[in-house]
Structure 1
Amino acid sequence: MKTISVPDEVINARTIPPGSVIYASGNAATPQLLLAQLARDHSIVDIDLYTVLPLGDRIAELYSAERCRTITHRVIFNSYLTRQAVNSGCAYYHPMHLSEIPKHMFQRIKPNVVLLTVSGPDHGGNYSLGTTVEGVLAAVQYANKHGGVVIAERNAKMPFVLGTTIPEEAIDYLLETDYPLPLSPVHHPDDRARRIGEIIAALYIHDGRGEEPGSTLQYGIGEVPEAVTDAIIRKGVGDLAIHTELLADAMQNLIKRGVVTNRWKPHFTFAVSSIFLSESQAGYDWLHFNSSVQSRPSDYTNSVFKISELPRMVAINSAIGVDLHGNIWADS
């Protein structure tokens, strides 16, 4: 692994020639300085860039009309940065089950360049993938196996989230950075959301403190999950579990209060997620070497087989739209 001092040492047309396929981590682990350099260097052309919910205002230029003419954007999960480019036809939208992203990394995406954010190393010399795993681990493994290049930012503000790590030899270049992680503002519930939360808690959230298992929770982001959290606390239940692809502040609150213990999970007693978001740096700091939560790739967190093993699974998400056939979507 070579440590670099500025992004353009490796984010250039020599490292990323025409025909390259890049996979970049997203959410709070979006490698913003690397991607910002990719946006600025107009000698890098005719490449494909795969992303899952990229965040961070530093990379807005990456999705400009001008840059979309030389970069083929393939968006797996939209964010505020990508939505206009997708809707205008400047970028491609690739609907894909989160559980299948790691599989498609080897079968379809096949990246020869991986951009990511890490934290660490720990005493074993391993680096955490931080707040975003989803398909990143598979991307690193594919690039390592097929002679690709792995370029990482080590952001001083990125927590070392336990669970999914990579060895130092899996990283080719490391850039030291220190800038704020993207935040996910808490959506305070209105009266309608609070009523929905009360109904969900009353009907579907089971107390696990007795002889029967408590509910296992999966949350999305929005007013309703926040309202459900408040209703669960008011209901006074305990010994619940968490198995989710996204863990945000509402779930942190349940863990801190001792409502979630993961007592009834069949294999381990910690919360599992593939992506972590917070409304503050304090929320990210709480994740740092915290053994009550661990990260896993999305083919684990979103596997129907793993989910089916868990007691009394309750999935709570907000829909963006519903079509005439009753199909619901939340990621367009």
Structure 2
Amino acid sequence: MSRSPLVVEAADLDLTKWIRSGDRVMWPQGCAEPVTLIENLVRQRAAIGSVRLFLLLSFTELLRPEHADHFDFEGLGGLGTTSRLSRAGVLDPNPMHLSDLCLRLSTGSFPVDVAFVQLAGPDANGEYSPGVDHSYTHDLIAKARVVIAEVNSRAPVTTGVRPIRADELDVVVPSARPLPRMPVMEPDDDDRRLAAHVAGFITDRATIEIGVGTLPSALLPTLSDRCDLGVHTGLISDSVLNLIASGAVTNKYKPVDTGLSTGSAIFGTSPQAVDPRGLDIIMRPSRQVLDLPTLAGIPRFTAINTAVEVDLTGQVNAEYASGRYVGAVGGLVDFMRGAKASPGGRSIIALRSRTPRGTPRLVTRLAGGIVTVARSDVDVVVTEWGAAELAGKSVEDRVSSLIAIAHPDDRDSLMTEWATRPGV
């Protein structure tokens, strides 16, 4: 006989009954953060004792450095507002591929004791939807000792691999509050110049993967004239939703999820207003979205990602800047390798040639020696000054190609630094 979860109002939730000192607690990211549960955890942290929190991307400011009095902060890196924990020196980053993390969650080799999840529903059958984030929600629920669900009446119901049964949950906390919002990121003229160079690599019938930030906002509106595009991506942003709605995306030539756009999470400025069922979107766990044979089997799979900096041989740092972690490995390498293995696929690293403060982002040495992507995995690097196709090129040819797309005021110094580097 199936069991029913305990239903508890937020004001009556006593987490000391469920969380033990030393436990690892984890929850979905971005717009799917279970805000009510996290607020209770913060308030009750002294009574609970020391716990480990494994964090990914956050848009909220619920966790602060002073909460390290009882929390040990772990995570993939300094993603979103999590970066301020890194800046304060209280975040212990784990440089793990997202595919590897999700695989380890599914097998239990990366143990999580308590899962917080935000769900939508229930439906007429008493079942729930993971709402806006299917990345690893099912795996958390399957493997955690305790599952506490914030069932948010404002979370949209999304179509995924399967619904979540009531007997998979230990506690249900009802809520009706707005979902966390992704910050608005408005592109400027340099972003649009960068996007124009990236657009040259996106052909009709290409299937695209793209992250969040100003680049999608600048790039995706320019693709509405393409024919029969496909979407197979981790994060579906407002810009992706708009591209789908434009009619340019048909997913007609995708061999998997034909006719459907594929994603793991929906991150937007009004996530509770999204009805992905009207846009032919299928939500899948990251383990499926990042699967290398699946990606390699999609013709013209085009992965578009950003980075903190790139060195002159093509090594990519997407994690570390100004002495702190500001990003993560995430799914970057998974998508890049899938694109390179795809027939007609392209993998693009796009970045502006300088930071807002004027610091070069094409460099002879990466900050902190952090290499997120090996130079052997890099295909194309794009700045607002042009594109450098690196695959198959020697080191010296790579150097020349990358200097040619650096900021014009940095090119002479880069040539000098390269020529006078130790060992030359």
TM-score range normalised by the length of the shorter chain = 0.7 to 0.9
Note if 1:136 corresponds to 2:137: yes
**Aligned match for 1:230, one of 221, 227, 238:** 221
- Measured after TM superposition, the shift of residue 288 of structure 1 is 4.9
Q: Which amino acid aligns with 1:152?
A: A
Spell out the pairing of 1:239-278 with structure 2 (5 A cutoff): 239-268=228-257, 269-278=259-268
Spell out the pairing of 1:298-313 with structure 2 (5 A cutoff): 298-313=286-301
Kept in 1: contact 2:230–2:252 (CA 8 A): yes
Kept in 2: contact 1:29–1:117 (CA 8 A): yes
- Measured after TM superposition, the shift of residue 107 of structure 1 is 4.3
Aligned length: 312
Moved more, 262-271 or 105-114: 105-114
- Measured after TM superposition, the shift of residue 7 of structure 1 is 5.3
SS state of the match for residue 85, structure 1? helix
SS state of the match for residue 115, structure 1? strand
Kept in 1: contact 2:134–2:160 (CA 8 A): no
Matches of 1:3 and 1:107 in 2, distance apart? Answer: 27
- Measured after TM superposition, the shift of residue 323 of structure 1 is 5.4
- Measured after TM superposition, the shift of residue 324 of structure 1 is 7.0
TM-score with structure 2 setting the length: 0.69
- Measured after TM superposition, the shift of residue 119 of structure 1 is 0.3
**Aligned match for 1:189, one of 169, 187, 194:** 187
Note if 1:25 corresponds to 2:28: yes
Q: Which amino acid aligns with 1:76?
A: L
- Measured after TM superposition, the shift of residue 10 of structure 1 is 3.8
Kept in 1: contact 2:221–2:243 (CA 8 A): no
Q: Which amino acid aligns with 1:63?
A: R
- Measured after TM superposition, the shift of residue 304 of structure 1 is 1.9
**Aligned match for 1:286, one of 246, 261, 274:** 274
* 1:143-187, Cα deviation, whole Å (9 max, x unpaired): 2xxxx1100111122111111431111111111111111222342
| RMSD across aligned positions (CA) | 2.0
Note if 1:5 corresponds to 2:9: yes
Matches of 1:217 and 1:302 in 2, distance apart? Answer: 13
Match of 2:345 in 1: none
- Measured after TM superposition, the shift of residue 321 of structure 1 is 3.3
Find the structure with the greater CA-based Rg. Answer: 2
SS state of the match for residue 101, structure 1? helix
Match of 1:117 in 2: 118
Note if 1:156 corresponds to 2:153: yes
Q: 1:216 to 1:14 in 2, by over 3 A?
A: same
Q: 1:112 to 1:7 in 2, by over 3 A?
A: farther
Q: 1:324 to 1:89 in 2, by over 3 A?
A: farther
Matches of 2:277 and 2:229 in 1, distance apart? Answer: 22
Structure 1 residue runs without a partner (length 5+): 208-213
Bigger relative CO (Cα 8 Å, ≥ 6 apart) = 1
- Measured after TM superposition, the shift of residue 291 of structure 1 is 5.7
Match of 2:47 in 1: 43
- Measured after TM superposition, the shift of residue 306 of structure 1 is 1.5
Q: 1:15 to 1:324 in 2, by over 3 A?
A: farther
Matches of 1:32 and 1:224 in 2, distance apart? Answer: 28
Matches of 2:292 and 2:215 in 1, distance apart? Answer: 23
- Measured after TM superposition, the shift of residue 77 of structure 1 is 4.2
Matches of 2:299 and 2:11 in 1, distance apart? Answer: 46
Match of 2:57 in 1: 53
- Measured after TM superposition, the shift of residue 56 of structure 1 is 2.2
Q: Which amino acid aligns with 2:159?
A: L
Matches of 1:73 and 1:201 in 2, distance apart? Answer: 39
Matches of 1:195 and 1:100 in 2, distance apart? Answer: 35
- Measured after TM superposition, the shift of residue 263 of structure 1 is 0.4
Q: 1:223 to 1:125 in 2, by over 3 A?
A: same
- Measured after TM superposition, the shift of residue 63 of structure 1 is 2.8
Spell out the pairing of 1:37-116 with structure 2 (5 A cutoff): 37-41=40-44, 42-57=46-61, 59=62, 62-65=63-66, 67-105=67-105, 106-116=107-117
Q: 1:122 to 1:201 in 2, by over 3 A?
A: same
* 1:194-214, Cα deviation, whole Å (9 max, x unpaired): 122222222x2222xxxxxx0
- Measured after TM superposition, the shift of residue 292 of structure 1 is 0.7
Q: 1:323 to 1:141 in 2, by over 3 A?
A: farther
Kept in 2: contact 1:101–1:134 (CA 8 A): no
Kept in 2: contact 1:221–1:318 (CA 8 A): no
Q: 1:262 to 1:288 in 2, by over 3 A?
A: closer
Identity of aligned residues (%): 27
Q: 1:306 to 1:8 in 2, by over 3 A?
A: farther
Matches of 1:68 and 1:323 in 2, distance apart? Answer: 35
